[in-house]
């Protein structure tokens, strides 16, 4: 471009050569900034989720532009089963899971580390039945929809144990979470083990609440799990995700109406109903997370041990696993510095 009638030279003109000499170091620095520990560009952190109010701050963070340089990619799945399958198949680098699901994956040899407590269920996980049903004992002989292999199996097992019943007393039907509403309304099942936002929807239409997680306080914990090799190679991306998460939960606390309006869209409910659904959850802040992960015997490890014992008793787990090794507090601690 801009050619002249000057005689051709052997190399670039001085001005062009100087420009290249100035640009070359900048290009090298830019390339180094993109290179991860393994000598390759750091890939986006792919996080698997499903529709659940406690996971929505992830999407709020994305909506508010809190993810830096598109370093996080959220991938939505229709059920817990699909999220766990995607993690096992390495289709994602991390997942929003219940703690019992994380224990199951760890027992199966799928290396993961827990880096965040997202929420603690206090009424959000439920067993709902027909309007004439009143207690868990009314499930005897009834068809109960369960997305087996997920937290629903744990909730049902605990409800039965607390009421002196066994799984064989019921007719358990495997139904994916996403199909529960249709199966219940069509009369194909008499009860479902589910959670918000379906809980509020079906209760409003006449379903009976037979059991909820207030009966097992602190046992249903939603966590963020990251694949061990990703965390080791790209820990800065994980810390960035946690920073965005806490910015989003702070925004929710300061601007609940606007935040709810944004988050309710994916849940396909009104902002008012979304805020109502949060009443069945507790979302720990950064300071509480540090406490849950901290100390010589972290509170979250104690919870994991109790969960594992119940899972082994109820045959939801084949063998014990080292839950003490599950926690990775470093990304949380990095935010405190």
Q: What is the pLDDT of residue 104?
A: 93
224 and 327 belong to one structural domain: yes
Residue 40 lies in a domain: no
Query: Does a structural domain hold residue 169?
Result: yes
Q: How far is Cα 337 from Cα 334, in angstroms, rounded to an integer? A: 6
pLDDT at 153: 87
Q: Kindly state the greatest CA–CA separation across the chain.
A: 97
Reduced to 3 states (helix: H, G, I; strand: E, B; else coil), residue 116 is: strand
| Whether 188 and 224 share a structural domain | no
Close Cβ partners of 332 (under 8 Å, ≥ 6 residues apart): 115, 116, 242, 286, 289, 290, 293
Range of the domain at 193: 125-215
Residue 81: per-residue pLDDT: 87
CB half-sphere exposure, 337, CA atoms < 13 A: 7
Residue 40 is predicted with a pLDDT of 63
Placement of tokens 């046992």 in the chain: 219
Token digits of residue 23: 């640009």
- Give the pLDDT of residue 5: 36
* Token reading at 170: 């019921």
Domain boundary among 215, 236, 269: 215
Q: Which pLDDT belongs to residue 23?
A: 42
* Measured distance CA(301)–CA(130) in Å, rounded: 37
201, 248: one domain: no
Residue 97 DSSP one-character state: E
- In the Cβ-directed half-sphere of 111, how many Cα atoms lie within 13 Å? 6
226 and 103 in one domain? Answer: yes
Q: Are residues 201 and 148 in the same domain?
A: yes
Calpha distance 137→278 (Å, rounded)? 28
Q: In angstroms, rounded to a whole number, what is the distance separating the alpha carbons of residues 283 and 245?
A: 11
> Looking at the 3D structure of the chain, how many domains does it have?
2
Strand-pairing partners, residue 281, are 121
pLDDT of residue 46: 97
88 lies in the same domain as 185: no
Statement to judge: residues 322 and 236 lie in one domain: yes
pLDDT by residue, tens only, the chain of 337 residues: 433 333 333 333 333 333 333 444 343 334 334 444 445 667 899 999 998 899 999 999 999 999 987 789 999 998 888 999 999 999 999 999 999 999 999 999 999 999 999 999 999 899 999 999 999 999 999 999 998 767 888 899 999 999 999 999 999 999 988 899 999 999 999 999 998 888 888 998 999 999 999 999 888 999 999 999 999 999 999 999 999 999 999 999 999 999 999 999 988 889 998 998 898 899 999 999 999 999 999 999 999 998 898 889 878 899 999 999 999 999 999 998 7
Whole-number pLDDT of residue 39: 52
CATH code (residue 145) = 3.40.190.10
Do residues 234 and 326 share a domain? Answer: yes
Q: Domain boundary residue among 175, 190, 215? A: 215
Q: Is residue 173 part of a domain?
A: yes
Residue 211 confidence (pLDDT) = 97
* 331 and 228 fall within a common domain: yes
Q: Are residues 262 and 295 in the same domain?
A: yes
Is the residue at 241 inside a domain? Answer: yes
Is 197 part of a structural domain of the chain?
yes
Give the pLDDT score at 139: 97
Distance between CA atoms of 10 and 130, rounded to whole angstroms? Answer: 88
Domain for residue 244, yes or no? yes
The answer to whether residues 194 and 314 belong to one domain is no
The residue among 215, 233, 257 that closes a domain is 215
């Amino acid at each position: 471009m801009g050619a002249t009638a000057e005689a051709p030279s052997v190399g670039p003109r001085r001005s062009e050569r100087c420009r290249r000499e100035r640009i070359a170091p900048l290009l090298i620095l830019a390339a180094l900034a993109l290179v991860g520990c393994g000598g390759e560009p750091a890939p986006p952190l792919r996080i698997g989720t499903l529709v659940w109010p406690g996971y929505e701050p992830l999407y709020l963070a994305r909506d508010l532009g809190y993810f830096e340089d598109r370093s996080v990619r959220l991938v939505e799945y229709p059920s817990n089963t699909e999220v766990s399958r995607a993690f096992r198949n390495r289709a994602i680098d991390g997942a929003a899971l219940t703690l019992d699901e994380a224990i199951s994956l760890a027992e199966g040899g799928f290396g993961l580390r827990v880096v965040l407590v997202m929420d603690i269920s206090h009424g959000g996980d439920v067993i709902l039945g027909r309007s004439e049903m009143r207690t868990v004992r009314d499930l005897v002989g009834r068809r109960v929809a369960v997305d087996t292999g997920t937290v629903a199996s744990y909730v049902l097992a605990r409800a039965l144990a607390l009421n002196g019943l066994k799984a064989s007393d019921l007719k358990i039907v495997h139904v994916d979470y996403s199909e529960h509403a249709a199966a219940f309304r069509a009369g194909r099942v008499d009860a479902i083990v589910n959670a918000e936002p379906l809980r509020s929807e079906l209760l409003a239409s006449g379903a009976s609440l037979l059991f909820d997680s207030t009966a097992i306080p602190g046992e249903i914990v939603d966590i963020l799990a990251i694949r061990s090799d990703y965390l080791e190679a790209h820990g800065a991306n994980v810390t960035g995700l946690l920073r965005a998460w806490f910015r989003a939960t702070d925004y929710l606390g300061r601007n609940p109406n606007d935040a709810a309006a944004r988050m309710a869209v994916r849940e396909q409910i009104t902002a008012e109903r979304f805020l109502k659904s949060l009443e069945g959850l507790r979302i720990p802040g950064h300071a509480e997370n540090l406490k849950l992960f901290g100390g010589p015997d972290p509170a979250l490890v104690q919870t994991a041990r109790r969960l594992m014992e119940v899972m082994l008793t109820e045959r939801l787990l084949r063998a014990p696993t080292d839950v003490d090794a599950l926690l990775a507090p470093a990304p949380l601690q990095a935010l405190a510095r």
